[in-house]
Amino acid sequence: MSSPPLSVPENGALLTPLDLWGQLAEDWLVYSMDFGQRLTLFLDTKRQQGDNFIQENRKGLPPVLHFDYEVIFDGKDLDEPVNYSLARITPEEGHDIPDDARPLVIIDPRAGHGPGIGGFRKESEVGLAMRKNHPVYFMLFTQHPVPGQTLAHVFKAQVEFLKAVRMFHPEAENPAVIGNCLGGWAAALIAADHPNLTGPIILNGSPLSYWAGKDIQNPMRYRGGLFGGGWLALLSADLGNGIFDGAQLVAGFEDLNPGNTWWKKDYNLWNAVDTEKDRYLFFEKWWNGFVFMTRDEIRFVVRDLFVGNRLEEGEVTGGSGDAVDLKRLRDPVIIFASKGDNITPPEQALGWIERVWGSLEEIKGRGQVIVYLVHEAVGHLGIFVSRKVILREHNELIDSVDLANHLAPGLYEMILDEKGEAHFEARDLSCLAHAEGANTERVFDNVKKGSEMLESWYDAWVSPWIKPLANELTASVVREGAPQRQRLYWNSSLNPMMKMASAWTPWVEKHRVEAPENNLFRQWERAVSDMVGVVLDGYRDQRDLAMESLFYAFYDNLLTHLALGGERRVFQKESGEASPPSPEGSRWLERMVEGGVMAGLFRGLVALGGVKKVVDKTQLATMNAFLKESHQIEAMTLGEAKKTVKEQRALLAFNRELAINTLPELIKTPEERLTAIAIFEASLEGENVDRTARLLFSHLKALLKDRKVL
């Protein structure tokens, strides 16, 4: 049933009061029927949400993976057991994955929610990777941790998982690792602690530089200081009998955007309950899947990663027990961030690059490739679950896993054109997002020191009194009383009123009457909803502004600086280990003409890559295809190829002119020279080709064509 909008009739005649009253009455009749039916469907959906929460917890929160999988390595079988396991995703019918295809391993965040969000539907990271013929593995975790486990134990288990992946794919290159949000911490730690174990890593919305951010826009980083640092997390774990409740982390995320939490999310369901029901229920099944951490785990997360910001400073120990230096990363690092992300803004996703390497020269000197992509608007979860983002941005990110190795060392921004095709533009560190405020780092260092002092006080004087009073019964009472759980219990079938409302659902679905979009009362409803959203957003903005002012007032003053130790320690960076070789001795001159055709081929590609400012994806893909067809490269191991590239880069740094002019001594036969010229030219295909690179190619082509074969 529908009604026409209130408007002037087509014949131009004016509406009479009776006509207006008739249209209003018809609009109200249709709207009131629609309102009652939507209320029934809305309440039934909320009841199912609560019932799903209870059922999923009874089952132990199984992963929300859309795909079939097989657990091939259970972390509980290790000497230091953990609640993690390695799952192999079963390829869908029609996907014939080659034996030498690089495997992809996905690490989901364990930040209060259960596992599987990276593959919770067909259009996901898992689905996209399989369509690109990658074998896909997923690191799963269960709802409850193994008693006594620590994040160091988890990192050790994840290292063993990656060793198992390599064992299953001996003909392939090292597995690429995709880390979503907090999973990016694990990916970076493992890749830096065991650089020979992993291939490229993709960090999606991962806050490796937690102190960074912009004033007013990124208020989450102030909360640790305003609540006194990490002692509250320890108190919560003690009250939980040594277990921290992930529902508290979820509550923190929800509180960042009260307008969405308290109104917009449910109104969007209410407004389109006929079409939104299934999507809402499926997502809420993951969002309300609360998992737990041990006391040691949450201490590490808050002290070392959030408040302490120790990862970028090389103060975090990984599975090996040694401090992890992110400069030990060897394979390409690919970073995805968004300006619309209020949990991990671009400053936190990218700021660690300058903190770790210090300069672009250091990045190049170490042979490191870093690629970053910044979305303009998508929110935090959308970075790794949005269907549009998966099919556009992630499509290019996963392609870059194999292509980024062909970029010259340096920092690149990935730019997507209107068709979604990528090209890579060389950048310097000034292009990265930085935190505002000259004293930002000093202020957050005060938070770190204050948190450490309060933690020590809590451990010494409060915790010993609380631990003996806590047991599993009291912990259960505290957990079950959390607002996040109570509202779900009230929504479930445990509430007789919800069951009574849902009893009308079959009749409503059979006799559904939906008010059209131009219904006057439906339009008023949306206007009121928008007004409520604006009010709640205004409250959020004023609250965040007050929090920021209070934070700086307390931590950025002379008394606090003196009480907590004054100026911040400057993190010392080592010199680049891949700096140009010393000119002492004649050995470097001899190596200019050693290595044969493969050395010459890699030297030419490195030289061309070093002068490009813009690189098209098509250039990298074409060059990759040429290299794969080369019989000489097929005979080389991955380690030999990397060693050759590193040596040719050092020779070019030592004496670029001599290294280029001696290429004919390495590439000797006519067939080899024609192949080399074809590969060099393939690396320049595409629209965005630098004039400098074209000139260098012309020089290389002339060298190889004009010199006589020796």
In this predicted structure, what is the pLDDT of residue 627? 61
- Joined together, the tokens standing for residue 697 give 């190619």
Kind of pairing between the strands at 176-180 and 104-107: parallel
At residue 59, φ and ψ (nearest 5 deg) are: -85, 0
User: What is the pLDDT confidence band of residue 323, given thresholds at 50, 70 and 90?
Assistant: confident
In this predicted structure, what is the pLDDT of residue 706? 62
Q: Is residue 235 part of a domain?
A: no
| Helix or strand run (H / E) with residue 15 | none
Q: Using alpha carbons, select from 325, 328, 250, 319 the residue that is nearest to residue 291.
A: 250
In this predicted structure, what is the pLDDT of residue 645? 75
| Positive/negative CA dihedral, 337, 339, 341, 346 | positive
Q: Using alpha carbons, select from 257, 267, 261 the residue that is nearest to residue 531.
A: 267
CATH code of the domain in which 179 resides: 3.40.50.1820
Q: Is residue 374 part of a domain?
A: yes
Paired with 59 in beta bridges are none
User: What radius of gyration do the chain's Cα atoms show?
Assistant: 29
Q: Is residue 569 part of a domain?
A: no
User: Looking at 75-79, 362-366, 403-407, 649-653, which range is the least confident one?
Assistant: 649-653
- For residues 14 and 8, what is the distance between their CA atoms, to the nearest angstrom? 6
For residue range 579-594, list pLDDT tens digits in order: 444 444 456 677 888 8
Give the residue with greater pLDDT, 401 vs 321: 401
Q: Is residue 468 part of a domain?
A: no
% of the chain at pLDDT higher than 90: 56
In this predicted structure, what is the pLDDT of residue 639? 61
Q: CA–CA distance from 345 to each of 340, 351, 433, 550, 618 (Å)?
A: 7, 10, 9, 22, 30
Q: Is residue 299 part of a domain?
A: yes
In this predicted structure, what is the pLDDT of residue 587? 64
- For residues 548 and 435, what is the distance between their CA atoms, to the nearest angstrom? 14
Length of the chain: 710
* Neighbouring C-beta atoms of residue 628, cutoff 10 Å: 11
Can you give the three-state secondary structure of 322-384, one letter per residue? CECCHHHCCCCEEEEEECCCCCCCHHHHHCHHHHHHCCHHHHHHCCCEEEEEEECCCCCCHHH
Residues 192/198, Cβ–Cβ less than 8 Å: no
Last residue of a domain, one of 408, 437, 466: 437
What is the separation of C-alpha 87 from the centre of its chain, rounded to a whole number of angstroms?
20
Q: CA–CA distance from 511 to each of 1, 127, 138, 507, 666 (Å)?
A: 11, 38, 44, 6, 81
Last residue of a domain, one of 388, 410, 437: 437
- Joined together, the tokens standing for residue 624 give 């990759």
Give the angle subtended at the CA of 516 by the CAs of 515 and 521, to the nearest 5°: 65
Total structural domains in the chain? 2
In this predicted structure, what is the pLDDT of residue 590? 77
DSSP of 182-193? HHHHHHHHHHHH
For residue range 160-210, list pLDDT tens digits in order: 999 999 999 998 999 999 999 999 999 999 999 999 999 999 999 999 988
No. of helices (H) and no. of strands (E), the chain: 34, 13
* Neighbouring C-beta atoms of residue 688, cutoff 10 Å: 17
At residue 295, φ and ψ (nearest 5 deg) are: -60, -40
Q: Is residue 500 part of a domain?
A: no
What is the separation of C-alpha 615 from the centre of its chain, rounded to a whole number of angstroms?
24
Average pLDDT, the chain: 86
- Joined together, the tokens standing for residue 41 give 């469907």
pLDDT reading at 352 higher than 80: yes
Give the residue with greater pLDDT, 442 vs 7: 442
Domain boundaries, position 592: 587-706
For 39, counting Cβ atoms within 10 Å of its Cβ (0-12 exposed, 13-18 middle, 19+ buried), the class is middle
- For residues 405 and 401, what is the distance between their CA atoms, to the nearest angstrom? 8
Paired with 427 in beta bridges are 411
- For residues 675 and 689, what is the distance between their CA atoms, to the nearest angstrom? 21
Give the residue with greater pLDDT, 626 vs 225: 225
Last residue of a domain, one of 437, 464, 498: 437
- Joined together, the tokens standing for residue 231 give 């002692």
pLDDT reading at 19 higher than 90: no
In this predicted structure, what is the pLDDT of residue 570? 41
Q: Is residue 151 part of a domain?
A: yes
Q: Is residue 236 part of a domain?
A: no
- Joined together, the tokens standing for residue 134 give 């990658």
